[in-house]
């Protein structure tokens, strides 16, 4: 189309319509027709009468708007209908860029609140289980990195295994013969070949079946071992610390516990019996912190928890008894208050609003316990599992209720206090619950054995939770920032993940490091903390916290780092966060990279700052080592997990 300015006299109709005022016309031709659009001239006034546009005036022959009325941060939105400035017209005006809050506009005022944490599990599989399954566990029996599920058929003489497909679905179950009325199973590497084997506690007359895995998830019967009368439950751990996994069995009818020590090839020695009272479940767990799993049990519907301490050779002391609310049925162990020792959580059976369904017993640090909190409300609770449903590092709880055919989930506030968020509908008489990640999204999913409907119910975790700043959840082992300890929150529907926002940009968020080579990232941002004394213009600071492992000369370098556009780093060491700089270097390493040496004292902490000279940024390689003699006055004491190894923790499934 053609566009041109024309004199108003060329269109008398338009001139008549707008009176005698001087006008400018824009005439454009479209499909042969000429259309004239009138634009007021500056001389006749520019104000369009719109409140929200402010006052328009003539500037150098052009209309311009000045002083729009709504420009303050308190009242940024303009309501033309009311001729007034307001806080908001729609929720976008209220966005505070905080993933943990919701933002609403209510009658022109912003309303902010804490985003609801949405606990949600969706059923993805219901696997038919033969002869009323009563105990189900997740475990990777086939060794393909995908969780499978195994369970016991209480009214028959078989256990079954269904292979996981990786998407929450499972294949057709395979059945294996065991003793009569298998009530409980355990998954553990009993023969030391790297795959999970299966042990089954068979109630009538009372024995233990061991099935060894041939490596692909197919089980072969190894042996059957006599137990006490009424074997009902089995648990696994390396109780004598000889490198192989041992077994414990709760014998219901003769009130005993059988402990079988492993010969090293999957074979078991004769059981050692410990007298108890009406025991139906037991747990191997190191509660006194000496690195040896102790024996924890509860009498059926009793009001105590019994702990037999490991005397560090696979035998156990006389029981220490700790009071708990009546009607206890189940117990699990873990550090629920984050103080470094493992506590106990119990489920209960009772009726009435004053009855207890969950109790927490805190560890005093030496393996003694006292009840600290409880959830009331009764119901027929059964099995209990501690798990982290939110990905925040706190142990939450899931427990079955066979009276209402449901599964309860309660979240931990980080201090060991629990709040129930809701229930899931299961099959009739849910007898067990276990947790594991069936689809690789980093969130724990659930499996429930429903005895009354002869089914295995699998629930996928699709929860949405807000993270607290300073805590990270990493979804997937391939995440390049998996070693990050702190991050700004990144909210997605299914998980919390880390990306480039997981940068340790202040010394208060320093990443813990040790002697060796560590990776990191420097971004093109202004420094948040101290500048390096040896270079006044260094940006993109990333911080590391090193606790000296010995006393002597330490050398730290950025050799191997890759910064762009110029591979130029600045490296400095401080005695504390916000403290004094004790070493600094700009170009003392290869090329323009950096290297410092300083005297460190074992046990003291040092803050290491890596930045780019000028505006350079990129991938950090931090190398920490020592030169000459570096004195370790004492060898570091191994943690209980290091002593116990990871295998016993993985397979210790009550």
CB 371 within 8 A of CB 325: yes
pLDDT at 293: 96
**Domain that residue 380 falls in:** 117-465
Which tens digit of pLDDT belongs to each residue from 2-22? 444 444 444 333 333 333 333
Which tens digit of pLDDT belongs to each residue from 327-378? 899 999 999 999 999 999 999 887 666 678 899 999 999 999 999 988 887 6
Same domain as 454, residue 520: no
Which tens digit of pLDDT belongs to each residue from 489-521? 333 333 334 333 344 456 766 777 888 777 776
Does pLDDT of 181 surpass 50?
Answer: yes
Average pLDDT, the chain: 79
Dig out the tokens for 594 from the structure: 């950096």
Which tens digit of pLDDT belongs to each residue from 409-457? 888 988 999 988 778 888 888 889 999 999 887 788 999 998 878 889 9
3-state secondary structure 244-265: CCEEEEEECCCCEEEEECECCC
Dig out the tokens for 74 from the structure: 């308190």
Same domain as 518, residue 384: no
Say what percent of the chain tops pLDDT 90: 39
Indicate which CATH number applies to the domain containing 511: 2.60.120.380
Same domain as 261, residue 196: yes
Q: Is the pTM of this model over 0.75?
A: no
Does pLDDT of 479 surpass 80?
Answer: no
Reported as a pLDDT band with limits 50, 70 and 90, residue 116 is low
DSSP string, 396-443: EEEEEETTTTEEEEEEE-SSS-EEEEEEEE-SSSEEEEEEE-SSSSSS
Which tens digit of pLDDT belongs to each residue from 584-608? 999 888 899 999 999 999 889 999 9
CB 229 within 8 A of CB 278: no
pLDDT at 306: 96
Residue 301 lies in a domain: yes
Same domain as 213, residue 273: yes
Residue 73 lies in a domain: no
Of 24-33, 90-99, 234-243, 524-533, the poorest mean pLDDT is in 24-33
pLDDT at 72: 77
Same domain as 350, residue 221: yes
CB 363 within 8 A of CB 287: yes
Same domain as 414, residue 316: yes
Indicate which CATH number applies to the domain containing 184: 2.130.10.130
Reported as a pLDDT band with limits 50, 70 and 90, residue 470 is very low
pLDDT at 211: 96
Same domain as 450, residue 348: yes
> In what helix (H) or strand (E) does residue 643 lie, and over which residues does it extend?
helix 640-651
Residue 133 lies in a domain: yes
CB 470 within 8 A of CB 486: yes
pLDDT at 363: 96
DSSP string, 58-92: EETTEEEEE--S--SSSS-EEETTTTEEES-SSGG
Say what percent of the chain tops pLDDT 70: 76
From CA 219, how far away is CA 271, in angstroms rounded?
23
From CA 596, how far away is CA 542, in angstroms rounded?
16
3-state helix, strand, coil in the chain (%, to 5): 5, 50, 45
Same domain as 518, residue 447: no
> Residue holding tokens 């393909």?
144
From CA 468, how far away is CA 390, in angstroms rounded?
11
Reported as a pLDDT band with limits 50, 70 and 90, residue 71 is confident
Provide the 8-state DSSP code for 319.
P
In this structure, how many other beta carbons lie within 10 angstroms of the beta carbon of residue 101?
14
Residue 498 lies in a domain: no
Same domain as 420, residue 279: yes
- From residue 504, give the alpha-carbon distance in Å to each of 78, 501, 509, 527, 607: 40, 9, 5, 11, 12
Beta strands 538-547 and 511-513 are parallel
Which residues, at least 6 apart from 348, have a Cβ–Cβ distance to it below 8 Å?
Answer: 325, 326, 327, 328, 329, 355, 356, 357, 358, 359, 381
Same domain as 254, residue 184: yes
Does pLDDT of 569 surpass 50?
Answer: yes
Reported as a pLDDT band with limits 50, 70 and 90, residue 531 is low
Residue 477 lies in a domain: no
Total tally of structural domains belonging to the chain: 2
């Amino acid at each position: 189309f053609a566009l041109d300015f024309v004199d108003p006299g060329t269109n008398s109709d338009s001139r008549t319509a707008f009176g005698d005022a001087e006008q400018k016309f824009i005439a454009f031709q479209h499909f042969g027709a000429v259309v004239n659009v009138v634009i007021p001239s500056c001389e006749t006034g520019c104000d369009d009468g719109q409140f929200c546009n402010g006052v328009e005036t003539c500037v150098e022959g052009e209309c311009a708007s000045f002083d729009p009325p709504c420009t303050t941060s308190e009242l940024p939105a303009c309501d033309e209908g009311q001729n007034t400035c307001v806080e908001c017209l729609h929720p976008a005006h209220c966005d505070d860029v905080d993933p943990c809050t919701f933002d609403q506009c209510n009658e022109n005022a912003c309303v902010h609140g804490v985003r609801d944490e949405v606990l949600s599990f969706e059923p993805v599989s219901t696997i038919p289980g033969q002869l009323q399954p009563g105990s189900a566990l997740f475990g990777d029996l086939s060794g393909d990195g995908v969780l499978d599920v195994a369970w016991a058929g209480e009214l028959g003489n078989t256990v079954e295994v269904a292979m996981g497909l990786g998407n929450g679905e499972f294949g057709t179950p395979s059945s294996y013969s065991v003793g009569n009325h298998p009530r409980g199973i355990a998954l553990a590497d009993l023969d030391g070949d790297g795959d999970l084997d299966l042990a089954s506690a068979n109630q009538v007359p009372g024995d233990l079946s061991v099935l060894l895995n041939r490596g692909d998830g197919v089980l072969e019967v190894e042996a059957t071992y006599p137990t006490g009368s009424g074997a009902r439950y089995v648990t696994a751990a390396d109780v004598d610390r000889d490198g192989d996994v041992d077994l414990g069995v709760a014998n219901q009818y003769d009130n005993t516990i059988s402990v079988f020590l492993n010969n090293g090839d999957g074979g078991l020695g004769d059981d050692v019996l410990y007298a108890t009272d009406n025991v139906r479940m037991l747990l191997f767990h190191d509660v006194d912190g000496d690195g040896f799993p102790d024996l924890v049990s509860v009498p059926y519907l009793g009001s105590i928890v019994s702990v037999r301490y490991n005397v560090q050779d696979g035998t156990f002391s006389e029981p220490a008894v700790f009071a708990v609310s009546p009607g206890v049925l189940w117990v699990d162990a873990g550090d629920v208050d984050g103080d470094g020792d493992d506590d106990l959580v119990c489920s209960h059976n009772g009726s009435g609003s004053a009855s207890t369904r969950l109790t927490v017993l805190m560890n005093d640090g030496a393996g003694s316990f006292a009840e600290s909190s409880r959830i009331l409300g009764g119901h027929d609770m059964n099995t209990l599992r501690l798990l982290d449903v939110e990905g925040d590092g706190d142990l939450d709880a899931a427990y079955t209720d066979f009276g209402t055919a449901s599964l309860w989930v309660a979240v931990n506030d980080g201090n060991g206090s629990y709040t129930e968020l809701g229930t899931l509908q299961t099959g009739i008489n849910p007898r067990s619950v276990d947790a594991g990640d069936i689809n690789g999204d980093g969130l724990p999913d659930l499996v429930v054995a429903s005895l009354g409907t002869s089914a295995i119910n699998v629930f996928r975790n699709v929860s949405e939770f807000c993270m607290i700043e300073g805590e990270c959840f990493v979804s997937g082992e391939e995440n390049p920032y998996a070693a990050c300890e702190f991050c700004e929150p990144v909210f997605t529907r299914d998980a919390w993940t880390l990306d480039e926002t997981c940068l340790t940009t202040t010394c208060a968020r320093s990443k813990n490091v040790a002697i060796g080579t560590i990776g990191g990232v420097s971004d093109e941002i202004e420094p948040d903390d101290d500048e390096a004394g040896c270079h006044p213009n260094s940006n993109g600071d990333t911080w590391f916290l090193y606790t000296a492992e010995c006393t002597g000369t330490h050398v730290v370098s950025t050799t191997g780092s890759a910064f762009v556009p110029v591979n130029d780093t600045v490296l400095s060491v401080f005695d504390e966060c916000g403290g004094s700089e004790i070493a600094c270097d700009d170009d003392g390493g290869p090329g323009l990279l950096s290297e410092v040496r300083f005297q460190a004292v074992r046990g003291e902490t040092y803050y290491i700052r890596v930045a780019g000279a000028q505006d350079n940024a990129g991938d950090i390689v931090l190398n920490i080592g020592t030169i000459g003699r570096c004195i370790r006055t004492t060898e570091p004491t191994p943690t209980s997990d290091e002593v116990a190894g990871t295998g016993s923790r993985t397979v210790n499934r009550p």
